[in-house]
Structure 1
Amino acid sequence: MAESSVADTQNQTEVVPKSYLVAFILTTFCFALWGFANDITNPLVEAFGRIFNQSNFVSSFVQFAFYGGYCFMALPAALFIKKFSYKTGLLVGLALYALGGLAFIPAASVGEFMPFLIAFFVMTCGLSFLETSANPYILSMGPESTATQRLNLAQSFNPLGSIVGILTAKYAILSNINPLDGPERAELPAEQFDAMKFSDLAIVRGPYVAIGLVIVTMFILILVKKMPRNHDADGSLDIGGTLSRLFANSRYVGGVIAQAFYVGAQIMCWTFTAQYGKAVFMDEGMSAGEAAAAASSFTLYSMVLFAVARFVCTFLLKYVRPGALLMVLALGAIGLLLPVMFVGGQVGLWALVGVSGCMSLMFPTIYGIALDRVGDDAKLGAAGLVMAIAGGSIMPPLQGYLIDSWSLNLSFVLPVICFIVIAIYGLSTAKPQPEPTPAVA
Structure 2
Amino acid sequence: MKAEPLIQQNDGYLKKTPIFQFILLSILFPLWGAAASLNDILIAQFKSVFTLSDFATALVQSAFYGGYFLIAIPASMVIKKTTYKIAVLIGLLFYIIGCSLFFPASHMATYTMFLVAIFAIAIGLGFLETSANTYSSMMGPRESATLRLNISQTFTPIGSIIGILLGKYLIFQEGESLEKQLARMTPEEAHDFSLAMLQHTLQPYKYMIFILIAVLIVFLFTKYPSCKVQVDQKLKSTPGMKETLRYLFKNKRFGKGIIAQFLYVGMQVAVWSFTIRLALVLNDDLNERSASNFMVYSFIAFFVGKFIANFLMTRFSPQKVLVVYSIIGTALLGYIVFATNMSAVYAAVAVSMLFGPCWATIYGETLNVVQDKKYTETAGAILVMAIVGGAVIPAVQGIASDLLGSIQYAFIVPMLCFVYVGYYFYQEMKREQAIDSSASDYTSIQS
TM-score (norm 1): 0.89
Q: Counterpart in 2 of 1:198?
A: 195
For the pair 1:353 / 2:352, whether they are aligned, the reply is no
Structure 1 range deviating more: 236-245 or 259-268: 236-245
Could you list the structure 1 runs, at least 4 aligned residues long, displaced by more than 4 angstroms after superposition.
15-19, 232-235
Gaps in structure 1 of 5+ consecutive residues = 1-10, 436-441
Is contact 2:177-2:287 (8 Å) kept? Answer: no
Q: Distance in 2 between matches of 1:233 and 1:276?
A: 51
For the pair 1:335 / 2:331, whether they are aligned, the reply is yes
Letter in 2 for 1:337: L
1:109 to partner: Cα distance: 1.0
The structure 2 residue matched to 1:156, chosen from 151, 154, 157, is 154
Q: Counterpart in 2 of 1:264?
A: 266
Q: Counterpart in 1 of 2:52?
A: 54
Letter in 1 for 2:129: E
Q: Counterpart in 2 of 1:424?
A: 423
Is contact 1:23-1:227 (8 Å) kept? Answer: yes
1:308 to partner: Cα distance: 1.0
2:201 counterpart SS class:
helix
Equivalent residue runs for 1:371-390 within 5 Å: 371-374=367-370, 375-390=373-388
Q: Distance in 1 between matches of 2:378 and 2:68?
A: 14
Q: Counterpart in 2 of 1:93?
A: 91
Q: How many residue pairs end up in the alignment? A: 416
Are the structure 2 counterparts of residues 16 and 306 from structure 1 closer, same or farther at C-alpha, using a change threshold of 3 Å?
A: farther
Per-residue CA deviation, residues 277-312 of structure 1 (Å, 9 max, x unaligned), is: 111211xxx1xxx34333211111111011011011
Equivalent residue runs for 1:186-265 within 5 Å: 188-231=185-228, 236-265=238-267
Q: Distance in 2 between matches of 1:16 and 1:162?
A: 30
The structure 1 residue matched to 2:394, chosen from 393, 396, 399, is 396
Q: Distance in 2 between matches of 1:149 and 1:159?
A: 17
Q: Distance in 2 between matches of 1:365 and 1:121?
A: 27
Q: Counterpart in 2 of 1:316?
A: 312
1:179 to partner: Cα distance: 4.3
Are the structure 2 counterparts of residues 268 and 72 from structure 1 closer, same or farther at C-alpha, using a change threshold of 3 Å?
A: same
Is contact 1:258-1:366 (8 Å) kept? Answer: yes
Q: Counterpart in 2 of 1:38?
A: 36
Q: Percent identity?
A: 34
Are the structure 2 counterparts of residues 354 and 273 from structure 1 closer, same or farther at C-alpha, using a change threshold of 3 Å?
A: same
Q: Distance in 2 between matches of 1:373 and 1:402?
A: 36
Is contact 2:14-2:138 (8 Å) kept? Answer: no
Q: Distance in 2 between matches of 1:173 and 1:17?
A: 46
1:250 to partner: Cα distance: 2.0
Q: Distance in 2 between matches of 1:378 and 1:208?
A: 34
Is contact 2:253-2:369 (8 Å) kept? Answer: no
Gaps in structure 2 of 5+ consecutive residues = 1-8, 437-447
Equivalent residue runs for 1:294-313 within 5 Å: 294-313=290-309
Is contact 1:252-1:370 (8 Å) kept? Answer: yes
2:227 counterpart SS class:
coil
Q: Distance in 1 between matches of 2:210 and 2:161?
A: 19
Q: Distance in 2 between matches of 1:180 and 1:173?
A: 13
2:368 counterpart SS class:
coil
Is contact 1:242-1:377 (8 Å) kept? Answer: yes
Q: Distance in 2 between matches of 1:142 and 1:19?
A: 4
Is contact 1:60-1:397 (8 Å) kept? Answer: yes
Per-residue CA deviation, residues 34-67 of structure 1 (Å, 9 max, x unaligned), is: 0111111112111111112222221221111011
Letter in 2 for 1:212: I
Structure 1 range deviating more: 255-264 or 206-215: 206-215
Q: Counterpart in 1 of 2:442?
A: none
2:115 counterpart SS class:
helix
Q: Distance in 2 between matches of 1:169 and 1:162?
A: 11
Q: Distance in 1 between matches of 2:280 and 2:380?
A: 37
Q: Distance in 2 between matches of 1:271 and 1:344?
A: 20
Q: Counterpart in 2 of 1:121?
A: 119
